Chains A and B, each alone.
Chain A
Amino acid sequence: MNERSDMDRVLRHWFADGPSEMPDRVVETVADRIGRQRQRRASRLPWRPYDMNSTIKIGTAIAAVFVLAVVGWNLLPGRPASSIGQPSSSPSPSATASQSPTPSPTPRSAQLVVQQKNIAWTADVPVGWVDNGWFLASSQGTESPTGIAVGAPGANYVPTDPCDGVGKNLDGQSVADVVAALEAREDLVVSNKVDTTLGGYSGTRVDIQAPADPSAYCGEDLFIIMAEPGGAGYHVEGPSETIQMWIVDVEGVPTVFQITSFAGTPPGDLAAAQQIVDSIVITPWS
C-alpha cells in the first residue's frame, strides 16, 4: 500500500468515528427560528447608505428635488431635442467642469448629488445610467456577471474579517492606513497602486480583486470590503468582482470612491464609469 492510499484509509477511519445523529433539540430550535424568519423573496440591497441624520436627510431631499427639476425641465415638451443629454444649466461646479472645450463622448442626462458624512459630492450621470441615490449603475445593473456601479461607500474602515459587517469608526487614520488595511486582507488581491487625484484631492488608487467565491468566506453573510457602525459600507455583489478604488484625503479624512465591475461588464460601460469618476466634484462639510 502506498503512502497516499494509506493516508486515505487512515482519514476515512478517523472521520468515520464520531457522532452521526443530530440532537433532537436542533429540530425544535430550527422550527422555532423559522417561525420568526421570513423567507427572502427579493434580492438584497447591495450598497448600504450612510445612516443619515435629519440635516443630511433634508439636504438630500432638496438635492433630489433639484435633480428632478433639472431632468424634468430637460424633458419638457417644446424643449429642443438636442438639449436632452447636453450639459445642464446647473450652476454647480461639476457643470462648469463639463463645459470644457472637449465634448464628453457619453451624453449626460443629469447630475447625481450625494451627501455623506464628511462630504457632498456630485457626478455627471450618463444617459442610460440609473441614479440610485448613493451610486450610479448602468442598465446592466450592479451584479455579476455584467453589472457595474460607481459610487462612494461612505466608509473607510476595512475590517480584517470580511464577514464583519459592524465595522468601526476610524477617523484618525490616513489614506496610507486604508491602503495598508486593504493590502493586509488575504482574501483580496490589491494591485496597481498609484498616486492619484480625484476631484482635486490627492490620494492613492488601487485595483482590488475580490474572491471568486465570496460565500466560501462568509457563507450567506455579506462579504464586506468596508463598513462603519452607522450602516455605511460596501459588500461585494458576486464572484470575482473587480473594484477600482480611489482613496483621497479630504481634509484629513480618507474618502473612498470606487467603480465595481465584473469580467463580463461591457467595455463601453467601463469607459462611461471612468467619465463619471472624472466628473466627480467633492465639497467637504467643514
Chain B
Amino acid sequence: MVDAPDGRPYRMRAVDRDLVEAAQRGDQSAFVDLVRLHGDRLFSIAQRILRDVDRAEDALQDALVIAWRDLPGLRDPDRFDAWIHRLLTNVCIAQARRERRRTTNLRLLPEDAPAAPDDLLSVADRDQLDRGFRRLSPNERAILVLHHFVGHTPSEIAEMLGLPPGTVRSRLHHAHRAMRAALEAEARASTVRESSA
C-alpha cells in the first residue's frame, strides 16, 4: 500500500453508506459530499494517468457526472469505492486514447514545472520518466498508476479493468521495461554529456 504525500492512508476511507444511498435516491447534496470526500484521491489518480492537471480535472468531472447518472444502478453501496475507481480509470483511459492519437506525431514536452532535484531522481530522470510514461498505452499507464500509486495488486487491477490477471502482469512487466529503458537512455545521455564536457 502506498501512502499519499500528506501521510493519509491512500486506500479509500470507509465510505459513508448513508451518503451513497441518499445520492442513489437523487439527493444532490449527498453526492456533492461524496465528491468532497473522495475528490482529492480521485483527482490524484487522474493526474497521474493523464500527466496533465487540466485533463485530469476534465476527466474527473466527466467521471463524477457519469457516476451521478449511473449511481442508482449500483447494487451494493459498499462497493462505491471500487466502482468509482473503475469508472474514473476507464474515463482516463478513454481520454488518454483520444489524446494519444492527437499527439502521436508531436514532440512531447514536459508540461509541469520540473520538480526540485532529490537524491533519487534528477530533473532529467523525471523528464525521461515522463516521456517514457507517455509512450505507454493508456491501459499500461493506468496499470502502473493503480499498482504503484494506489497500491492495488495485479489481481485487483484485473478485476477493475476486466482483464485477465495474466494480461495485467504482462502489461505491468512491459511497462516496467519501457520505463527502465527510458531511464537508461537518460543515463547514457548523461555519460556522453559528462565525457564531452
Give residues 60-86 of B contacting A (CB, 8 Å): 60-66, 68-73, 86
Q: Are A41 and B40 in contact (CB under 8 A)?
A: no
Given A22-B40, A22-B42, A161-B98, A14:B126 Cβ within 8 A: yes
- Judge whether A39 is part of the interface by a CB distance below 8 angstroms: yes
- Judge whether A66 is part of the interface by a CB distance below 8 angstroms: no
CB within 8 A of B5: which of A7, A20, A38, A161? A20
A contact residues around B139 at 8 Å (CB): 216
Docked Cα-Cα span, A35 to B26, in Å, equals: 10
CB within 8 A of A212: which of B26, B86, B163? B163
B contact residues around A10 at 8 Å (CB): 120-121, 129, 179, 183
A contact residues around B44 at 8 Å (CB): 18-20
Q: Are A15 and B98 in contact (CB under 8 A)?
A: no
A contact residues around B5 at 8 Å (CB): 16-17, 20
Q: 1/0 contact trace for A3-24 toward B, CB 8 Å?
A: 1100111111111111111110
Give residues 196-217 of A contacting B (CB, 8 Å): 212-213, 215-217
Docked Cα-Cα span, A12 to B149, in Å, equals: 6
CB within 8 A of A22: which of B28, B39, B62? B39
- Judge whether A91 is part of the interface by a CB distance below 8 angstroms: no
Given A8-B148, A19-B43, A220-B91, A14:B4 Cβ within 8 A: no
CB within 8 A of B53: which of A3, A15, A19, A38? A19
- Judge whether A30 is part of the interface by a CB distance below 8 angstroms: yes
Q: Are B32 and A33 in contact (CB under 8 A)?
A: no
A contact residues around B120 at 8 Å (CB): 9-10, 13
Q: Are A217 and B149 in contact (CB under 8 A)?
A: no
B contact residues around A216 at 8 Å (CB): 90, 93, 139, 161-163
A contact residues around B162 at 8 Å (CB): 212-213, 215-216, 239
* B108 vs chain A, min Cβ distance (A): 16
In this complex, the member of A9, A20, A213 whose beta carbon has the largest number of chain B beta carbons within 10 angstroms is A20
- Judge whether B144 is part of the interface by a CB distance below 8 angstroms: yes
Q: 1/0 contact trace for A210-242 toward B, CB 8 Å?
A: 001101111111000000000000000001000
Given A7-B176, A7-B179, A31-B28, A21:B40 Cβ within 8 A: yes
Docked Cα-Cα span, A266 to B27, in Å, equals: 42
- Judge whether A76 is part of the interface by a CB distance below 8 angstroms: no
- Judge whether B87 is part of the interface by a CB distance below 8 angstroms: yes
- Judge whether A54 is part of the interface by a CB distance below 8 angstroms: no
* A27 vs chain B, min Cβ distance (A): 6
* B128 vs chain A, min Cβ distance (A): 10
- Judge whether A45 is part of the interface by a CB distance below 8 angstroms: no
Docked Cα-Cα span, A25 to B179, in Å, equals: 34
Return the chain B residue nearest A214 by Cβ.
B162
* A161 vs chain B, min Cβ distance (A): 7
Q: 1/0 contact trace for A29-67 toward B, CB 8 Å?
A: 111011101111100000000000000000000000000
* A23 vs chain B, min Cβ distance (A): 6
CB within 8 A of A34: which of B60, B65, B161, B164? B65
Q: 1/0 contact trace for B155-186 toward A, CB 8 Å?
A: 00000011110000000000010011001000
Top 3 nearest A-B pairs (CB, nearest first) are A213-B162, A22-B39, A22-B43
A-B contact pairs, 17 of them (CB 8 A): A8-B148, A9-B120, A17-B126, A20-B4, A26-B43, A26-B57, A30-B32, A30-B65, A34-B28, A39-B69, A218-B90, A219-B62, A219-B94, A220-B66, A220-B90, A220-B91, A239-B162
Binding site for A on B (CB under 8 A): 2, 4-6, 26, 28, 31-32, 35-36, 39-40, 42-44, 47-48, 53, 57, 60-66, 68-73, 86-87, 90-91, 93-94, 97-98, 101, 112, 115, 120-121, 126, 129, 139, 144-145, 148-149, 161-164, 176, 179-180, 183
Binding site for B on A (CB under 8 A): 3-4, 7-23, 25-27, 29-31, 33-35, 37-41, 161, 163, 212-213, 215-221, 239
Given contact pairs A15-B149, A38-B69, A218-B90, a sample of 16 additional A-B residue pairs in the complex whose CB atoms are under 8 Å apart:
A8-B148, A10-B179, A11-B148, A11-B176, A13-B120, A13-B121, A18-B112, A22-B39, A26-B35, A26-B61, A33-B65, A34-B28, A34-B68, A39-B26, A39-B71, A39-B72
